[in-house]
Amino acid sequence: MAYSNRRLIPQSLQDHFIKLLLPLTALFSKWGLNPNSFTVAGVVITSVGAAACVMGYIRLAGILILKGTEKNMNYDVIIVGGGPAGLFSAYYLSEHSTKSVLLIDKGKVSQKRTCPIKSYQECIKCKPCNILSGIGGAGLFSDGKLNYIYKLGKTDLSQFMPLHQAEKLIDETEQIFNKFGMDGPTYPTDMEEAREIRKRAKRYGIDLLIIKQKHLGSDRLPEHIACMADFIKSKGVVIHTSEEVKEVLIEKNHAVGVATNRKNYFADNVILAPGRVGADWVGGQAQKNGIRLKQRGIEVGVRVEVHKDIMQDLCDVIYDPTFFIQTAKYDDQTRTFCTNKGGFVSLERYSNFVCVNGHAYRDKKSQNTNFAFLSKVVLTEPVTDNQAYGESIGSLATLIGGGKPILQRFGDLKRGRRSTWHRIRKGYIEPTMTDVVCGDIAMALPERILTNIIEGLEKLNHVVPGVANDETLLYAPEIKFFATQVETASDLETKIKGMYVAGDGPGVAGNIVSASATGLIPAKAIIAKG
């Protein structure tokens, strides 16, 4: 293959010598010294290496010192995206091989990621968005609800491996989270009670998914992710931030590297893990190289906010209850998702529209609980572009909201009138997100989705009394794009040799745990290739 000509030293010799050098670079990192920028240290290490090795190793040593320096442009693996998927790939490669790895993220390091909305009281449209981009990915300021299950929402790992292996992969992922302190109370706290709740729900035609969950809290994640990134760096992985990958370089059907806004880097293996913010980009790269994309549905709805007393008993047992409700008029599926007890509603900004989301801190609590309430949409032939449909709903809602999410009381929605701050303040629920426009969600969401939400909430009220009260707050739009899925083999390699995908962006995952798990798949495949 064309790229192999760029290698000056056989891989086996490189691997052998890297084994000798890595403990030293790790030591430098422990002393607080950045091994990436240590040319002088490089000379020292070279000398040690040279003394220890035969003549042929001397030139090799010089080259390998460059491993991890800014000057180096050749690696074994390049990872695009430092979210959970990219970080787990980098972790696995660094822990289980001597491959040289470059991880590139267009955002900042986790400690430098702050959302200015707190100071400005409104979104100032950072580029890239500090909430969605940077080391830790979109998960950094997330609630850190870890769902240890192989199939949930957008994720189904059993499409890539037999069920027992998918379960084993989830267990392995959990162990890595635990290793970096990303552990927390396990839910359901009482399995018997959880089964009772499910039984009650079934009487009203509602199903409840019981999942092993842990909750870390948004305030803990930056610290844990920084610790994981430091560990990975100490193992020799080079991390570039504030650098955007523009294109995957391909020669004769093989990935040979990437072109960024700064320069070109070369590697036989490229793992694309750019998350939701990079879904369009990764889709474009796939299409450009003749890789098929599978259209998937979307979920559209609202973020519901109630006083925390309404859901306290339920959430004490099941932290994030996922109820599935079949609606009467349209026979569509609606579901609850991402429940945040004592949490906060938050903004999710895309290039052309705004959406809402929610999170909860472990220590700082609000008086409310919020959850997503979503209606599934799958367009079928002849019109199948779910993504474009979702984006146009997002754009319309953003237009109606004057660039901000729309807030409405459930009672006002049912009466067919808009909400105002005056009406909202009459209720006892204080909204946790105020950079919104009080209005009429019926002007923004399609009738079918609106009907599903109204019917679904009223049905849910039988199991969770109070969720359909007049004062319940609804924020719109909340849209979950099941990114188009990039076609791959079961090890997540595309038909372009050496070009792998992982995480939410290419549509192979849909939450923190599954994104991390899919990061391990290509890392293992690359190591297995030798």
Ligand X SMILES: Cc1cc2nc3c(=O)[nH]c(=O)nc-3n(C[C@H](O)[C@H](O)[C@H](O)COP(=O)(O)OP(=O)(O)OC[C@H]3O[C@@H](n4cnc5c(N)ncnc54)[C@H](O)[C@@H]3O)c2cc1C
Q: Is 187 in a helix, a strand, or coil?
A: strand
SS3 letters across 260-321: ECCCEEECCEEEECCCHHHHHHHHHHHHHCCCCEECCCEEEEEEEEEEHHHHHHHHHHCCCC
Kindly state whether residue 22 participates in binding ligand X, applying the rule CB under 6 A: no
Within 499-518, which residues bind ligand X (CB under 6 A)?
503-505, 509-513, 515
Phi, psi of 37 (to 5 degrees): -105, 15
| Residue 441 burial (CB count, 10 A) | 27
Q: How far is the CB of 21 from ligand X (least distance, A)?
A: 27
DSSP string, 352-389: S-EEEEEE--SS---SEEEEEEEEEE---TT---HHHH
Kindly state whether residue 143 participates in binding ligand X, applying the rule CB under 6 A: yes
Q: How far is the CB of 508 from ligand X (least distance, A)?
A: 9
Kindly state whether residue 343 participates in binding ligand X, applying the rule CB under 6 A: no
Kindly state whether residue 104 participates in binding ligand X, applying the rule CB under 6 A: yes
CB closer to ligand X, 104 vs 476: 104
CB closer to ligand X, 106 vs 459: 106
Q: How far is the CB of 431 from ligand X (least distance, A)?
A: 17
Kindly state whether residue 336 participates in binding ligand X, applying the rule CB under 6 A: no
Give dist(CA 300, CA 376) in Å, integer. Answer: 7
Q: How far is the CB of 498 from ligand X (least distance, A)?
A: 18
Using alpha carbons only, give the angle 390, 358, 519 rounded to the nearest 5 degrees.
75
Kindly state whether residue 182 participates in binding ligand X, applying the rule CB under 6 A: no
**Would you call 489 exposed, middle or buried from its count of C-beta atoms within 10 A (0-12, 13-18, 19+)?**
exposed
CB closer to ligand X, 39 vs 261: 261
Kindly state whether residue 85 participates in binding ligand X, applying the rule CB under 6 A: yes
Stretch (H or E) spanning 240: strand 238-240
Q: How far is the CB of 404 from ligand X (least distance, A)?
A: 16
| Residue 28 burial (CB count, 10 A) | 17
Which neighbouring-strand residues pair with 264? 259
Q: Which listed residue (99, 106, 113, 254) binds ligand X by CB under 6 A?
A: 106
CB closer to ligand X, 107 vs 301: 107
* Contacts for 31 with CB less than 8 Å, ≥ 6 apart: none
Q: How far is the CB of 351 from ligand X (least distance, A)?
A: 12
DSSP string, 488-519: --TTSB-SSBTEEE-STTTTS--SHHHHHHHH
Give dist(CA 244, CA 278) in Å, integer. Answer: 10
Kindly state whether residue 138 participates in binding ligand X, applying the rule CB under 6 A: yes
Task: Write the interaction track for ligand X spanning residues 287-326; mark x where CB under 6 A is met and - where it is not.
Answer: ----------------------------------------
Six-digit token string for 460: 């849910």
Q: How far is the CB of 273 from ligand X (least distance, A)?
A: 5
The bridge status of strand 322-326 relative to strand 264-266 is unpaired
Q: Which listed residue (74, 357, 408, 494) binds ligand X by CB under 6 A?
A: 357
Give dist(CA 223, CA 464) in Å, integer. Answer: 35
Q: Which listed residue (35, 42, 134, 321) binds ligand X by CB under 6 A?
A: 134
Kindly state whether residue 76 participates in binding ligand X, applying the rule CB under 6 A: no
Q: Which listed residue (222, 257, 275, 522) binds ligand X by CB under 6 A?
A: 275
CB closer to ligand X, 49 vs 83: 83
Q: How far is the CB of 469 from ligand X (least distance, A)?
A: 26
CB closer to ligand X, 18 vs 479: 479
Task: Write the interaction track for ligand X spanning residues 448-487; mark x where CB under 6 A is met and - where it is not.
Answer: ----------------------------------------
CB closer to ligand X, 254 vs 349: 349
**Would you call 140 exposed, middle or buried from its count of C-beta atoms within 10 A (0-12, 13-18, 19+)?**
buried
Q: Which of 246, 248, 259, 245 lies closest to 289 in space, CA to CA?
A: 248
CB closer to ligand X, 82 vs 522: 82
Q: Is 248 in a helix, a strand, or coil?
A: strand
**Which part of the chain contacts ligand X (CB under 6 A), choosing from 42-50, 188-196, 274-282, 459-467?**
274-282
CB closer to ligand X, 233 vs 359: 359
Q: How far is the CB of 138 from ligand X (least distance, A)?
A: 4
Q: How far is the CB of 501 from ligand X (least distance, A)?
A: 10
Q: Which listed residue (89, 110, 142, 334) binds ligand X by CB under 6 A?
A: 142
Which neighbouring-strand residues pair with 239? 103
Give dist(CA 329, CA 199) in Å, integer. Answer: 24
CB closer to ligand X, 14 vs 269: 269
Q: Which listed residue (67, 99, 145, 376) binds ligand X by CB under 6 A?
A: 145
CB closer to ligand X, 57 vs 373: 373
* Contacts for 160 with CB less than 8 Å, ≥ 6 apart: 166, 490, 491, 492, 508, 521
Kindly state whether residue 239 participates in binding ligand X, applying the rule CB under 6 A: no
**Which part of the chain contacts ligand X (CB under 6 A), choosing from 129-137, 158-166, 432-440, 476-484?**
129-137
CB closer to ligand X, 46 vs 173: 173
- Is the separation of the CB atoms in 512 and 146 below 8 Å? yes
Q: Which of 70, 9, 493 lies closest to 269 in space, CA to CA?
A: 493
Name the site residues for ligand X (rule: CB under 6 A): 80-86, 104-107, 128, 133-134, 137-139, 142-145, 147, 244-245, 273-278, 281, 346, 348, 357, 359, 503-505, 509-513, 515
